[in-house]
Amino acid sequence: MDWIETFQQHARGMLPGLLGVRFLEATPEHLRAEITVRDDLCTVPGVMHSGAIMAFADTLGACATVMRLPAGAGTTTIESKTNFLAAAPVGATITGEATVLHAGRRTVVCQTRVTDGAGKLLALVTQTQAVLQPKPEPAAVMAGLFEGKDATEQRALLATLERGGAARYRALVAGEADPARRDELLAAADREEANAATLETQLAGGHSRGSSA
């Protein structure tokens, strides 16, 4: 994946794009970008606003984290600490270099050094990013409900789910004006209740279908 192009495209139309962040290098080990200090990024007397510097660094830390995320996961900043060491005057081009100090399953810690054209350190930012795990697929959620349960426990749980499903179908009927759809929902509720009855009968009999007595 071309991370530089990916980040540059993602920045368009959002705050990093408004700041004018230009990505120069992007690998899982190192991220580097630059920004030119404009008048509209400054506070008086003509130096870059501290919030703009923090936003620049936060962007780089987040992007450095993204390159290490598992498929489907996301991230958000949960803590950030900035030491301001020197001013960035209007017209200057400053560089941010982000490195990952810690990459865990739930958090990633990044440090970003912001320097001027002469290499002078302007700010040092350390931030913690939360790793937002992807939502599991419905099939995986369902499988997790039954994991570790024996056949009897699975039947009991499935019967409960079937009864609950039937109740939800009937609840939907109350808000459905179309007669054909109401009939479809009622038929679905009947099927769920029939399934639940089958499971409950098996549970009451103490054996599963097809097993020997």
Per-residue model confidence as pLDDT tens digits over 109-164: 999 999 999 999 999 999 999 999 887 778 888 888 999 999 999 999 999 999 99
The whole-number pLDDT of residue 212 equals 40
Q: Does 210 reside within a domain?
A: no
Say yes or no: 128 and 145 in one domain: no
The whole-number pLDDT of residue 207 equals 54
DSSP 8-class letter at 64: H
Say yes or no: 125 and 144 in one domain: no
ω into residue 45 within 30 of 0, thus cis? yes
Of the three residues 82, 115, 132, the one that is the final residue of a domain is 132
Of the three residues 132, 155, 180, the one that is the final residue of a domain is 132
Say yes or no: 107 and 193 in one domain: no
What is this structure's pTM? 0.69
Say yes or no: 85 and 157 in one domain: no
Query: What tokens does 123 get?
Result: 């700010």
Say yes or no: 80 and 38 in one domain: yes
Q: Number of folded domains in the chain?
A: 2
Say yes or no: 84 and 153 in one domain: no
Say yes or no: 169 and 76 in one domain: no
Question: Are 197 and 163 a contacting pair, CB within 8 Å?
Answer: no
Query: What tokens does 168 get?
Result: 């939800």
Query: What tokens does 174 get?
Result: 């109350």
Integer Cα distance of 200 and 154 in angstroms: 11
Say yes or no: 8 and 88 in one domain: yes
Say yes or no: 15 and 82 in one domain: yes
The domain in which residue 176 lies consists of: 138-205
**45: pLDDT confidence band, cut at 50, 70 and 90?**
confident
CATH number of residue 99's parent domain: 3.10.129.10
Which of 70, 78, 75 is closest to 136 using CA atoms? 70
Of the three residues 108, 132, 156, the one that is the final residue of a domain is 132
Specify the DSSP element, H or E, that contains 43. Answer: strand 42-43
Say yes or no: 182 and 92 in one domain: no
Q: pLDDT tens across 54-69, in order? A: 999 999 999 999 999 9
Say yes or no: 150 and 184 in one domain: yes
Query: What tokens does 16 get?
Result: 């990093």
Phi-psi sector, 67: left (phi>0), alpha (psi -120 to 50), beta: alpha
